[in-house]
Structures are given as structure tokens and as C-alpha cells.
Amino acid sequence: MPKKLIEVALPLDTINDASAYDKMPGIGAHPKGIHHWWARLPLPTARAVLFASLVDDPSEHPDRFPTEEAQDAERERLSGIIRELCQKKMHLKQDVFKKAHEEILRHCDGKLPTVLDPFAGGGSIPLEAMRPGLPVIASDLNPVAVLINKAMLEILPEFANQTPVNPESKRRNVGQEWKNAHGLAEDLRYYGRLINEEAKRRIGKFYPSVKVNGKELNVITWLWERTVKCPNPVCGCEMPLVRSFVLSSKRKPNVFTQPVVERRREL
């Protein structure tokens, strides 16, 4: 197996800076917005590591790079591609992915290897493998991770550039061209609204609004806790299994939940 670039040289400063940026909140639309996943690999790291693992280090080809200077120059050229892969807004830079694709193809004798990620999590590695056109197999033990990967990597590409099918958009946008995921997003908004309305109709009564200082307010978060029945025969209350009633102690005044005992009532 020839020695790969990743074993010899990497433009670490560029990869680190791009990866720190990738983790920042408020950088615009990003696949991480689909669902929070812990230990999600920053996309530039996944992109750079995949590329550098698939291209040979120039020292493996002394016929083409006979001197150290020639090898250094070739390493610098390959590192240049990694730097290009670490730019911002890569979804608008398809030419860079094409360049990476061609370079990988050259190093793999024209046959792209399949990338297997059995611990895919939030999907950074399969996503970045697919972008330069590598075949990918991804899986995970956790069904939530599988759903994230399925939505992002299987379903989304299938509906790319498609016209929305919901009746409202059909009526409003005759002849409009739908690019990328815009048509699917339009359908998700429409049918998501329908599901939301139906859910409110069926179970909304279990999520009442609250009165604060005489004002009726919607509750934005509900916390569910498991309960156990108190073994004291004269009590018999459903006791919440909570570690703490404090919700936030970072700012003053602290925010905490206040347990209110409700005797069993019919819902």
C-alpha cells in the first residue's frame, strides 16, 4: 500500500481554522441544522482527511518526483487543493469538488474506492465523501443518526431540482424553476404546517398556555420526567425522578421548576 499524503503532510492551520469556523453558531445554512448530534466531525476536517487519505505522498513516485524539491513542490500542490477544500460556502464551489474528484481518481487508478462509515453519527464523513463523488456506505447503531443520514444523503438528493407537489405551490408557481432542495423545502413547510395543525387539534389540550402576570403565554418547552409511585400508602403520589429542579443557574435570578402536586384527575 503506497504511503498516503496524510501520513506525511497536512495544512493543519487551515484545516483547524476552517473547522473552528464550521462549529460556530450563526454561520448560515448548514447540514448541522438538520439535527444536533454530539461529537459531530467538522465538515472541513472530514473533507481534508478523506482527500489526504486517498492521494499518495509524492515520495511514492520517484519516477515522477525524483528529488526532494520535486516532492515538496507536489506536496504543496496537493495541500493547495486541501486549502481550497477548506474555504467557506463550499456548496457554491462545485469546481473545487470536481478538481478533488479528478485528483483522487488519478491516485486510485481510475476506480474510486467505497467509503464505509459504520459509526456515521451526524453524517459528516459520508456527506464529505459523496461531495467529490465517492461511493458511500454509512450506518449507525442509533436510529436517530440513521434518520439524519437518510434524510441528508438519500432522500434529499433524490428530490433535488424537483417542483413541489403541494396544491398551494402548484397554484402559485406555474412554470417556476426549482433548484436544489427548494422544492422539497416548500413541500416540507406546507405539509409540516398541516401536521402541526392536526397535532394541535388532537393533542393541543395537553399543552395548555400559562398565565404570567395576567398575560396568556405559549409554553415553548415541555420537560418530561419519568415518575414512580410513592410507596407510602397514605401518599401514593406519582413522584418525578429528577436530579434537580434548577433549570439554569448561570444567570441571576436562577430559573427553576416548581413542583405542583395534582391529585389524580381525568385527562
**Which triple of cell numbers denotes residue 263?**
391529585
**Looking at beta carbons only, is 78 or 130 nearer to ligand SAM?**
130
**Looking at beta carbons only, is 121 or 132 nearer to ligand SAM?**
121
Residues numbered 112-131 forming contacts with ligand SAM, rule: CB under 6 A = 118-119, 121-122, 124-125
Spatial distance between the Cα atoms of 195 and 189, rounded to a whole number of angstroms: 10
Spatial distance between the Cα atoms of 168 and 155, rounded to a whole number of angstroms: 22
Please give the C-alpha separations between residue 200 and each of 70, 122, 178, in angstroms, as whole numbers: 67, 30, 31
- Residue of the chain from 27, 73, 137, 141 that contacts ligand SAM (CB under 6 A): 141
Min dist CB 42 to ligand SAM, Å, is 8
| Per CB under 6 A, 37 contacts ligand SAM | yes
Asked whether the beta carbons of 120 and 94 are under 8 A apart, the reply is no
- Residue of the chain from 82, 104, 130, 145 that contacts ligand SAM (CB under 6 A): 145
- Going by their DSSP bridges, the two strands 136-138 and 115-117 should be labelled as parallel
Q: What are the phi and psi torsion angles at 253 (to 5°)? A: -75, 150
Min dist CB 114 to ligand SAM, Å, is 17
Min dist CB 92 to ligand SAM, Å, is 22
**Which triple of cell numbers denotes residue 251?**
444567570
- Residue of the chain from 10, 15, 18, 41 that contacts ligand SAM (CB under 6 A): 41
**Looking at beta carbons only, is 121 or 183 nearer to ligand SAM?**
121
| Per CB under 6 A, 39 contacts ligand SAM | yes
Residue whose C-alpha is closest to residue 127's, from 238, 253, 22, 245: 22
Residues engaged in binding ligand SAM (CB under 6 A):
37, 39-41, 118-119, 121-122, 124-125, 140-142, 145
